[in-house]
């Protein structure tokens, strides 16, 4: 690929980095490309509502994904499969409203792009026009390259997603992808196909760390790992998993940075006990 000069790789708003930079304008896909040139790693979190997104924005998270993991983590479905484009549009719009700096990537849900490029363009256009996202994400490598190409040609930046693709859970289950020679070769073909189609980044989900490292070396677009080892350019986690809000089991690759489920449960019980015991509200909480 064309090498960029140092001046070209310095963020145009004077900030130093995607994370920790000082700029207040929205991060763009060009900033993401420049970060790869600088060899800079960056974090991405999912978000599904305005208030949570504003916390992550203030924390400096440069890219937020309104993932269809909202199905499991926000909307109460068992998988991502039932999530609709209407639901993704509402959630994406809320996250855009809650943020000032982060690049917001809206996920195209199952059934909103598999028919072909024209359906994909119609669906992505809704997320861009109605929700205001700066980019969309869709699943699939070679099988989705025509959709990616048309969206990119139409001016919609696309983040691709290969490896484990949860929308295909009924066909592939939740298993590590890319193990073995043939599967690894397919994953590399998928990675190159989405890059050639114009994707600005690619999520690698649940693939062996060595393979993810190789894909990261080979591609000139950034790789975003989830369960893909330490060598990818960026890392993404589902926020409810990494902050300990998700009930039940979370995948082995998740690091738990907080225990919000306990914090929130304790707060709810303390409130309930105050109400039942008559110690809330007190005079200081009352108006006259
Ligand atoms: O929907 C989602 O949250 C995702 C991430 C796990 C990458 O696709």
Active site residue 205: yes
Average pLDDT of 248-266? 96
- Which residue CA neighbors atom 4 of ligand 1 most closely? 67
Give the model's confidence band at 2: pLDDT under 50 very low, under 70 low, under 90 confident, else very high. very low
Annotated ligand binding at 107? The verdict is yes
- Which residue CA neighbors atom 1 of ligand 1 most closely? 67
Lowest-pLDDT range, 3-12, 88-97, 139-148, 165-174? 3-12
- Cβ contact 32:201 at 8 Å: yes
pLDDT at res. 180: 94
pLDDT at res. 23: 80
Average pLDDT of 144-154? 98
- Which residue CA neighbors atom 2 of ligand 1 most closely? 67
Average pLDDT of 192-199? 98
Catalytic option among 40, 87, 205, 214: 205
Q: Ligand 1 pocket, 226 CB below 6 A? A: yes
Give the model's confidence band at 115: pLDDT under 50 very low, under 70 low, under 90 confident, else very high. very high
Per-residue pLDDT of 66-112, as tens digits, reads: 999 999 999 999 999 999 999 999 999 999 999 999 999 999 999 99
Average pLDDT of 159-175? 94
d(CA 224, CA 159): 9
């Amino acid at each position: 690929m064309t090498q960029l000069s140092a001046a070209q790789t310095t963020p145009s708003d004077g900030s130093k980095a995607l994370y920790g930079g000082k700029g207040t304008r929205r991060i763009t896909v060009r900033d993401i490309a420049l970060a790869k040139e600088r060899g800079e790693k960056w974090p991405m979190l999912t978000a599904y509502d305005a208030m949570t997104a504003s916390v992550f924005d203030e924390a400096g998270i440069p890219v937020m994904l309104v993932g269809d993991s909202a199905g499991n983590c926000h909307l109460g479905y068992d998988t991502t499969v039932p999530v609709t484009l209407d639901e993704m549009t509402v959630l994406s719009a809320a996250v855009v409203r809650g943020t000032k700096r982060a690049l917001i990537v809206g996920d195209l849900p199952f059934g909103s792009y598999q028919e072909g490029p024209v359906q994909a363009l119609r669906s992505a256009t809704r997320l861009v026009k109605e929700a205001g996202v700066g980019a969309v994400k869709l699943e699939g490598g070679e099988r989705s390259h025509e959709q990616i190409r048309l969206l990119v040609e139409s001016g919609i930046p696309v983040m691709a997603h290969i490896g484990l693709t949860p929308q295909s859970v009924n066909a592939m289950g939740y298993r590590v992808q890319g193990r073995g020679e043939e599967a690894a070769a397919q994953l590399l073909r998928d990675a190159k196909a989405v890059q050639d189609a114009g994707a600005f980044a690619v999520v690698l989900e649940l693939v062996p760390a060595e393979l993810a490292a190789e894909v990261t070396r080979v591609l000139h677009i950034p790789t975003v790992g989830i369960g893909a080892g330490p060598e990818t350019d960026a890392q993404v986690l589902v926020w409810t998993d990494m902050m300990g809000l998700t009930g039940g089991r979370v995948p082995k690759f998740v690091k738990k940075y907080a225990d919000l489920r306990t914090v929130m449960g304790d707060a709810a019980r303390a409130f309930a006990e105050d109400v039942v015991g008559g110690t809330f509200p007190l005079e200081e909480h009352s108006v006259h």
